[in-house]
Amino acid sequence: MSSNLDQLYRQVIMDHYKNPRNKGILEDGALNINMNNPTCGDRIQLTLKVEDGKIESAKFDGEGCSISLASASMMTQAVKGLPVEDALKLAKIFYDMMLGNDYDDESYDLGDIEALQGVSKFPARIKCATLAWKAMEQGVGKQEEE
The chain-wide mean pLDDT, for the chain, equals 93
- The predicted structure's pLDDT at residue 29: 84
pTM as predicted? 0.93
- The predicted structure's pLDDT at residue 60: 98
Rounded Cα distance between 30 and 47, Å, is 6
Q: Which CATH class is domain 3-145?
A: alpha beta
Confidence band (pLDDT; 50, 70, 90) for 141? confident
- The predicted structure's pLDDT at residue 109: 86
Parse the chain into domains and list their residue ranges: 3-145
Confidence band (pLDDT; 50, 70, 90) for 144? low
Percent of the chain past pLDDT 70, that is, above it, reads: 95
Distances (CA, A) of 57 to 50, 87, 122, 140, 141: 7, 12, 31, 12, 16
- Residues 96-123: pLDDT tens digits? 999 999 988 888 889 999 999 999 999 9
